[in-house]
Structure 1
Amino acid sequence: MLESLFILFCLFSSGFCIESNNITASLVIKDPDTIVSSGNIYRLGFFSPANTTNRYLGIWNYVSAMSIIWVANRDNPLKDSSGIVTISEDGDIVLINGKKEIFWSSNATSSPMNTSARLLDNGNLVLQDISNGRTIWESFGHPTDAFIPKLKLNDNPGTGERVLLTSWRSPQDPDFGSFTAGLQALNIPQIFIWNGSHPHWRSGPWNGQSLNGVTDMYAIYLDGYSVTKQDDGTVSFMQDYYGKILMKIILKSNGSFVQTMWNVRRRVWDVTWIAPIDVCDVYEKCGPFGNCNLRNSPMCSCLKGYEPKNKEEWDKGNWSGGCVRKTLLQCDRNNNSTDKNKAEVFWKITNVKVPDFMDVSTGIEAVECEGLCLRNCSCIAYSHDHGIGCMFWNRSLIDVRQFPIGGLVLHVRVAYSELDNQKDIRVIVIVPVTIGLVIVFIGIFFTWRWMAKRKGTKRKGRILTNEVGKSYISDSSGVVLRDDIDEPSLDELPLFSFQMLETATFQFDVTNLLGKGGFGPVYKGKLASGKEIAVKRLSTASGQGLQEFMNEVVLISKLQHRNLVRLLGCCVEKGEKMLIYEYMQNRSLDVSLFDRSQNILDWRQRFNIIEGIGRGLLYLHRDSRLRIIHRDLKPSNILLDEDWCPKISDFGMARIFGGNQNQADTGRVVGTYGYMAPEYAMGGRFSEKSDVFSFGVLVLEIVSGRKNTSFYNDELSLGLLGYSWKLWNEYNTVVYYEK
């Protein structure tokens, strides 16, 4: 059946599919014929870019003819459709025209006479010796602009040999463009994009799991990136993507990396990552000793202890000249200086893509880095990464930028006077401000006492402590407020006015009601800009309160992941407490699973949803800066976007764990029965295992199409978990129930 479908597809497509993935001296490809890899993943044949009749030999994904990943004759196009691909007499792959003129050849050295070419399922075209199967030449050794799984970007610092990507000259012309990309393995591996010979973008150093300057890279077991070193000194960077989803990273003609994944349902390539992600990502945007931060205005500033090299140009927005040191370091002073006994200090800057040109000392603890840098007069900064060790900088600090989250901590060496002056200024400012605040608070205190006596409404507060040791203040109303100045405040989120949200939801009309939860109702809204939003409104009858509201603001504002719902802002006006989220077109998972009026999810969608929830949980438990236990994982708290991508929501019950904390106890068990782990429901003990238990129940519901509670009061009466266990013991599988 599959073979028949394949043949029909070939007949109705442009050209004919040869029933082989090989090219031999006797089996040639003539334009417009193609060959397809054995797993029907990649195709080799002829194509013409948009707005041109030139013909090129290329490889593309089987699902999409315009997803070209390799071009043979990119700088020597055929002018007609007479192209032929065959094996030459000396064993090379050659592209010739009708006049037998060679337009491209593999030019394999020492090719045996008896060879054949094969297109593999990973997109690699290999030339092999038929007698022993040895690979003589491969297209992966000569890539064009596409980085795909299994393709290696190589660099040998000793010999200078590299495998690089090269952009197209334009979207219509696959000829060699001005941008190249590849691995630089000097000192520590990094990925670069070069514009000619000048760096255009830098990934930051590889720490064994991820690249420091790529905040969307999670971990080696999720994204599959790896760096290996061979005996001859060649270092390779490769992605062995763990999933079966088609993906590719293309070096565009404008110098940007664009990663896309094939959307099976919509049959389009979805963009999942871009680099450079913003102007601060462009190499050396703020010059030497400059720091780029998009949250600042202007975005460029000098590092502590430095000032603009050209103040006039800097003020005009030309930051390329960078900064220079304001005060000499002790090492640079005259030995007779009276200041020589005053030690230098380090200024700390967080969430940084560390500078270029670092020296590395592996196997050293973080506490040792500062002493090593201080003892070396040429050391001007240091940083530490557990996967790398100590990094030191002895020259200019080039290409420094700050992220909202992620990155590393950079310690910049400054003269002692830089902090002394700062301390003097602080004393001058802090003393009068403190005295003034004391006077104001005394006045407020006595005013409050006077008003309290008049109204006769004295209220006694008490201090509570939550499971992880945070302090709260509670009054008689039962509302719980955080008393922790280190936690983010509402000011860090965009604030929406009540009138704006009222207009967006048509006065919270019932026709815009998406659903109700323990927090309160959720409404669909549309801003004046046309952006659709979901407004979560705290109900006065809700069992949840300000504690859960603040908890969700604190957590979601600090978390960023493709499988977590995105918080756009909040509203705290007119006694209202509302959270504004991105709108999810396919609503929550429980609707798609259990609503009989909805379409049944196919198996691919169910698999992708399970996979996405797992990735989100892994991020919460392992890869985020905060270690989060969700505590209320269930279908109604999984939202689905237009592409059916799952996003975990509702963090009102979530808790933060300390770095060495594995378990906590609570006297207040929250969540939904049926999804709670037994030790949590009965003993109040929760940990990562609690979420894993809930995830297991969720997986069974997704696979079976039945609610966990749907077995109650019927003939089975075991519950979904009990019924699944019964089937397991009977060597059966969970039954998929049609609606």
Structure 2
Amino acid sequence: MFHTKFIRDPLTMLTSWLIFLSVLKLTYAVKEADIEGEALLDLLKNLNDSNNGIQDWNSYMVSPCFSWSHVTCRNGHVVSLALDSIGFSGTLSPSILKLKYLVTLELQNNKLSGPLPDYIANLTTLQYLNLAGNNFIGSVPASWAQLSTLKHLDLSSNRLTGTIPLQLFSIPVFNFSNTQLYCGSKLEQPCDSKSDRPASKKKPKLAQAVQFASCGAFALVCLGAICTYRYHQMHKQKSDVFVDVSGEDESKISFGQLKRFSWRELQVATKSFSESNVIGQGGFGKVYKGILLDNTKIAVKRLTDYHNPGGEAAFEREVHLISVAVHRNLLRLIGFCTTSTERILVYPFMENLSVAYRLRDLKADEKGLDWGARKRVAFGTAHGLEYLHEQCNPKIIHRDLKAANILLDDEFEAVLGDFGLAKLVDTRMTHVTTQVRGTMGHIAPEYLSTGKSSEKTDVFGYGITLLELVTGQRAVDLSRLEEEEDVLLIDHVKKLLKENRLEDIVDRNLESYDPKEVERILQVALLCTQCYPEDRPIMSEVVKMLQGVGLADRWADWKQVEDARTHEQFSQTTHQFPWSDESTHEQEAIQLSRAR
């Protein structure tokens, strides 16, 4: 039943229903984003882009609708591909059939070859198809006669032969010229449609009237929606339509494409939020494992203190940011629940929990992370951060990067989660906060001392996370004091590296590993954790260095600066305390302690 107090007149009801139906449509579109992205990547592979004309179709970006070039979307679906004059030399892939909403396909002026694919006939929404100026051979498939929605077809300047299905001559605009297809006097049909053809220019008066009437009705609806919105804004009243759900708060919050769960639904899924279902705990609440009635596994993040302003801000921030950022290595939000005393977020359940759990909290019968899995985590996390910093619009800084916030899906692929402390980046200024938030040991020095955070703050946290992956240890561990070791993991690793004790750095739970790969990741980690943010690499550079590109030169520069700094500090200490030569080792020990 709908809240009638929010509906003052029929126009408001109509507007609200239009909004409601649009949200349902968008929700369905999001579910198919992965399918369309994978289809486009397979299509690009078969087109053979040897000239690298398309470089931003990235397998790590789940939805092609956010930033992929040559792609146009509507309601979250791909509706147009403008791939003309790029230099393709391959063929069309059947994966194009997964683009169920494709309206326009432009592939003219490439070097595509082979026969025209008959499965094009299954693109039931296609209206514009241009394959001119390629090297297609054979005849036009008879099945193309089924393309009833087609309004423009251009097959000119190809090596096509044979007859043309007669139905294609009824298309308003067509062009079969400069081919060996039978048209013209042979079929008494023109090879191309003329601009003054009645079929392509004129519409029946009834159709025009219907069109004008439809446009007028749509304009009235839009005008009514604007007026209704302004009216309710002026009177501070709500105009959203909501379905009554037991336990739901009267102060409704609407978050677009996300599903609204009822309190009872999540209570049943988590067995009344049983402590036995707790799989994690953060600064704003606990995370529970749950199972919906359709057997879907979910993770339920419940804020323990909704009335705390920080908790409410974290809730709204996480919902907003995670709806902006869509990437394979970022956690996807399914929905939410609000009551008078609760704010709850619902995510897909990550079967293998977090990286921190797999490194340090495993049960006896559970599988840890081998070296291959740890490398995949390093790369996946780097790709996720690269997207947030350099490809997402607006840019986002996470501000709490650590092994506990990196989740693992069924295939042990890294998924970056917990955006409760994240911030949108204003490109005009470095973000300044009056309250430093994060996890000790992962917080960059400049953020801790000045309150200034930037993308380089995340880079520092990523470097510490790499050290966690290699060592299996925590960023801060007081137990190391008992062994007269450094409490901070970064200092502990630096000391062991100076002593060439690589085997003592690597996690003892690793049965096998490649020493060269370990050394490479350690080098990247130390470059990411340099004291000055301007010295740290950006994440796109980190991705390349993980592959070995540009790492040697950068590491050599780092070593030179580090050695010079150590020498300077040692000289200052020696000048202040002029010990004899027999005390060299004691001098170094005190000097290193002072440096830390």
Q: If each structure's helix is expressed as a fraction of its own residues, which one has the higher value?
A: 2
TM-score by length of 2: 0.50
Higher strand proportion: 1
Greater relative contact order: 1 or 2 (C-alpha under 8 angstroms, separation 6 or more)? 2
TM-score by length of 1: 0.41
